[in-house]
């Protein structure tokens, strides 16, 4: 575990030290101790009650939606110059709490103090005036405006009624330099990378004078390198006197950057711990409420005949460019095949071709020896395919449909869900209730819109829908993207369960850990072809990495393995 030498003044460390000293005296000389206690009493009490200078205090916050308590008596105190992580599962109430702080919701109970003064944050404008800035998970930028234009939007500096963007650009450049953000004020948003767009969001809050920055799951859409850059920026912000609340469910990030962690679970505050005194396992247990295993438990695979087999498959993307170039692959009964590869090497096109969402240019795909090449989507589904799609909002769910309707999306057209052209919504509801219960989908009920669910619960709903149909072949494309450890564990268990039932599972993931942990065989895709197939126990991340980069022959260790 990493120690933070630059971090001083943390409550517990200091007061324990003080206590130890006192204890020493106590055993030796009662009288001196008496005087000492009298002398130190004030200081001790002070230290206990106010160990840090808090810039934000959210005390006993309760936020209720109808009968549902999204936040139940949560306390969060942000010290000055601190990176304070807010940890919780998907749907635990992290975002709700931050929306309370940002003035988007009004709490039913509790109070908020900024710099020790009680405040009433009625709108985001009030929050801005108090120096609170939010870096949203989904960037709120106008694509075809420049960085500067985006930053001054709604707050334009004017000279005789004309926007003075030059002065603004200068200020933007200055701030960018101070914090090492490296942003060109004149670049257009559509031309810059996701990581830089995020830095523009950070700049926006700084430009408006924020001293307290809230980062809502900032690493969700970043590459590993961009994550490292972001961590550097956060540290720089702290040294410049800012304070940060980091909302996340990624434990490693918390260990890397935060000073303290406040954990919430199912809307309730579990407590605050000092990062240097904890470890990822403990945090996971606090967050989920039970022991979590990081290494997936599974027995040996018992593969049998091929379920999915792909021969010389060629698929083109929407521009007509070949993305899958003569690919061969098979997935057998009773095994999980992981597809490892860097994003954009033909994975999406491959899955879409199998699922019938994209036309096949040439080659052959069979499921259970039945040729399904370019059949209609429904025909393929009926041939025994379950498909957890890569993009849950685009393909996986009709967000404006209820949870119940979505639960029936693959089966609505046949009995018992519909008969003679009429829907039987009572059966649909029953099915939805079953999925909600078995797959622990946290929702207010089957009538709630899918849109209102958190990402993890939307994913669980999709997985419930696909797995409960018990398909011979289950394609899981990035099934755990954006999910917390508890949900990831749950989903991995379900995939292995399907395998042990003798089904074929095809897992596509960009996370090497996941592919290594869950798969029985790993097929590595590069530039539209399978470059090699390896066994997880016989390979290393390094070897996989090289294969993914396309160094097939050079890096290959050991004998040939058939594809």
Partner 1 sequence: MSNRVIKILVPAISIILGLLVGAVVMLFSGYDPVAGYIALWNGIFGDSYAIGETIRQISPYILAGLAVAFAFRTGLFNIGVEGQLMVGWFASAYVGAAFELPMYIHLPFALLAAALAGALWGLVPGILKATLRVHEVIVTIMMNYVALHVVNALIKTVSGGSYKTDKIQPTASLRSEFLSNLTDYSTLHFGIFVALAMVIVMWFILEKTKTGFELKSVGFNQNASHYSGMNVNKNIILSMVISGAFAGLGGAMEGLGTFGSMTNQGGFTGIGFDGIAVALLGANSPLGVIFGASLFGSLKYGANNMPNAASIPLEIVSIVIALIIFFVACGYIIRVALERLNKKKEAK
Interacting residues with partner 1 (CB under 8 A): 355, 357, 376-379, 381, 387, 389, 394-401, 405, 409-410, 412-413, 418, 421-423
In the bound complex, what is the minimum distance in angstroms from residue 123's beta carbon to partner 1?
Answer: 13
21/378 with CB nearer partner 1: 378
In the bound complex, what is the minimum distance in angstroms from residue 281's beta carbon to partner 1?
Answer: 38
39/376 with CB nearer partner 1: 376
7/64 with CB nearer partner 1: 64
Give the DSSP letter of residue 259.
S
Whole-angstrom distance, CA of residue 354 vs CA of residue 360: 9
Whole-angstrom distance, CA of residue 447 vs CA of residue 436: 12
243/383 with CB nearer partner 1: 383
109/174 with CB nearer partner 1: 109
CB 352 within 8 A of CB 333: no
Within 8 A by CB and 6+ apart from 17, the residues are none
239/377 with CB nearer partner 1: 377
- State the number of CA atoms in the 13 A half-sphere of 181 facing the CB: 27
Whole-angstrom distance, CA of residue 391 vs CA of residue 396: 7
In the bound complex, what is the minimum distance in angstroms from residue 400's beta carbon to partner 1?
Answer: 4
In the bound complex, what is the minimum distance in angstroms from residue 423's beta carbon to partner 1?
Answer: 6
73/418 with CB nearer partner 1: 418
In the bound complex, what is the minimum distance in angstroms from residue 322's beta carbon to partner 1?
Answer: 23
CA nearest 516: which of 555, 542, 494, 553?
Answer: 542
10/385 with CB nearer partner 1: 385
Q: Is 364 exposed, middle or buried (CB count within 10 Å of its CB: 0-12, 13-18, 19+)?
A: middle
In the bound complex, what is the minimum distance in angstroms from residue 411's beta carbon to partner 1?
Answer: 9
DSSP string, 27-80: HH-HHHHHHHHHHHHHHHHHHHH--S-EEEEEEEEEEEETTEEEEEEEEEEEET
Helix, strand, or coil here: 149?
Answer: helix
Within 8 A by CB and 6+ apart from 528, the residues are 322, 323, 324, 325, 326, 327, 345, 346, 349
In the bound complex, what is the minimum distance in angstroms from residue 346's beta carbon to partner 1?
Answer: 19
Q: Where are the alpha helices (DSSP H) in 180-279?
A: 194-207, 224-239, 251-257
40/412 with CB nearer partner 1: 412
Helix, strand, or coil here: 445?
Answer: coil
In the bound complex, what is the minimum distance in angstroms from residue 88's beta carbon to partner 1?
Answer: 28
In the bound complex, what is the minimum distance in angstroms from residue 413's beta carbon to partner 1?
Answer: 6
In the beta sheet, which residues pair with residue 522? 338, 534
194/398 with CB nearer partner 1: 398
Helix, strand, or coil here: 539?
Answer: coil
Strands 370-371 and 362-367: antiparallel
CB 138 within 8 A of CB 455: no
Q: Where are the alpha helices (DSSP H) in 299-402?
A: 347-355, 377-382
Within 8 A by CB and 6+ apart from 271, the residues are 262, 263, 286
In the bound complex, what is the minimum distance in angstroms from residue 207's beta carbon to partner 1?
Answer: 31
337/477 with CB nearer partner 1: 477
Which H or E element spans position 167? helix 165-178
Whole-angstrom distance, CA of residue 30 vs CA of residue 120: 49
25/412 with CB nearer partner 1: 412
Strands 473-477 and 385-388: parallel
47/317 with CB nearer partner 1: 317
In the bound complex, what is the minimum distance in angstroms from residue 356's beta carbon to partner 1?
Answer: 8
CA nearest 207: which of 158, 166, 172, 163?
Answer: 172
In the bound complex, what is the minimum distance in angstroms from residue 15's beta carbon to partner 1?
Answer: 41
Cis peptide before 312 (omega within 30 of 0): no
144/377 with CB nearer partner 1: 377
Tokens standing for 373?
Answer: 């090449």
In the bound complex, what is the minimum distance in angstroms from residue 516's beta carbon to partner 1?
Answer: 29
In the bound complex, what is the minimum distance in angstroms from residue 220's beta carbon to partner 1?
Answer: 21
CB atoms within 10 A of CB 241: 9
């Amino acid at each position: 575990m990493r120690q933070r030498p630059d971090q001083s003044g943390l409550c517990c460390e200091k007061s324990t030290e003080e206590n130890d000293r006192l204890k020493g005296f106590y055993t030796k000389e009662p009288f001196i101790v008496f005087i000492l206690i009298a002398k130190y009493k004030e200081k001790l009490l002070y230290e206990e009650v106010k160990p840090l200078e808090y810039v934000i205090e959210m005390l006993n916050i309760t936020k209720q939606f109808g009968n549902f308590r999204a936040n139940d008596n949560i306390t969060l105190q942000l010290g000055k110059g601190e990176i304070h992580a807010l940890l919780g599962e998907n749907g635990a109430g992290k975002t709700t709490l931050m929306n309370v702080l940002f003035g988007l919701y009004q709490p039913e109970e509790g109070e908020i103090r900024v710099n020790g003064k009680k405040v009433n944050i009625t709108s985001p404008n009030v929050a801005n005036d108090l120096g609170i800035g939010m870096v949203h998970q989904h960037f709120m930028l106008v694509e075809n405006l420049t960085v500067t234009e985006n930053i001054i939007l709604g707050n334009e500096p004017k000279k005789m009624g004309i926007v003075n963007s030059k002065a603004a650009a200068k200020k933007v450049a200055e701030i960018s330099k101070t914090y090492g953000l490296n942003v060109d004020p004149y670049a257009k948003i559509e031309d810059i990378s996701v990581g830089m767009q995020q830095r523009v969001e950070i700049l926006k809050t700084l430009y408006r004078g924020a001293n307290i920055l809230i980062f809502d799951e900032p690493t969700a859409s970043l590459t590993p390198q961009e994550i490292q850059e972001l961590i550097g920026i956060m540290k720089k912000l702290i040294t410049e006197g800012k304070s940060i609340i980091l909302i996340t469910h990624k434990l490693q990030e918390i260990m890397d950057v935060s000073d303290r962690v406040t954990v919430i679970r199912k809307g309730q505050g579990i407590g605050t711990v000092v990062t240097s005194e904890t470890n990822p396992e403990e945090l996971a247990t606090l967050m989920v409420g039970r022991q979590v295993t990081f290494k997936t438990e599974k027995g040996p695979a018992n593969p049998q005949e091929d379920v999915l087999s792909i021969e010389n498959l060629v698929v083109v993307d929407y521009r007509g460019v070949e993305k899958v170039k003569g690919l061969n692959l098979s997935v057998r009964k009773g095994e999980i095949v992981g597809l490892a590869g860097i994003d954009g090497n033909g994975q999406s096109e491959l899955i879409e071709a199998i699922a019938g969402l994209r036309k096949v240019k040439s080659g052959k795909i069979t499921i259970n020896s039945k040729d399904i090449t370019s059949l209609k989507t429904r025909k393929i589904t009926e041939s025994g395919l379950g498909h957890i799609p890569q993009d849950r909002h685009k393909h996986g769910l009709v967000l404006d449909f209820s949870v119940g309707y979505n639960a029936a999306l693959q089966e609505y057209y046949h009995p018992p869900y519909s008969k003679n052209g009429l829907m039987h919504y009572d059966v649909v509801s029953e099915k939805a209730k079953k999925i909600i219960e078995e797959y622990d989908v946290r929702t207010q009920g089957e009538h709630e819109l899918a849109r209102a669910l958190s990402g993890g619960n939307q994913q669980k709903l999709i997985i419930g829908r696909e797995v409960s149909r018990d398909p011979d072949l289950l394609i899981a494309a990035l099934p755990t993207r954006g999910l917390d450890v508890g949900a990831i564990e749950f989903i991995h268990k379900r995939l292995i369960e399907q395998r042990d039932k003798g089904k074929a599972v095809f897992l596509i993931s960009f996370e090497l850990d996941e592919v290594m942990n869950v798969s029985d065989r790993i097929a590595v895709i590069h530039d539209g072809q399978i470059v090699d197939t390896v066994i997880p126990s016989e390979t290393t991340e390094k070897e996989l990495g090289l294969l993914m980069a396309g160094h097939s022959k050079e890096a290959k260790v050991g004998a040939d393995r058939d594809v």
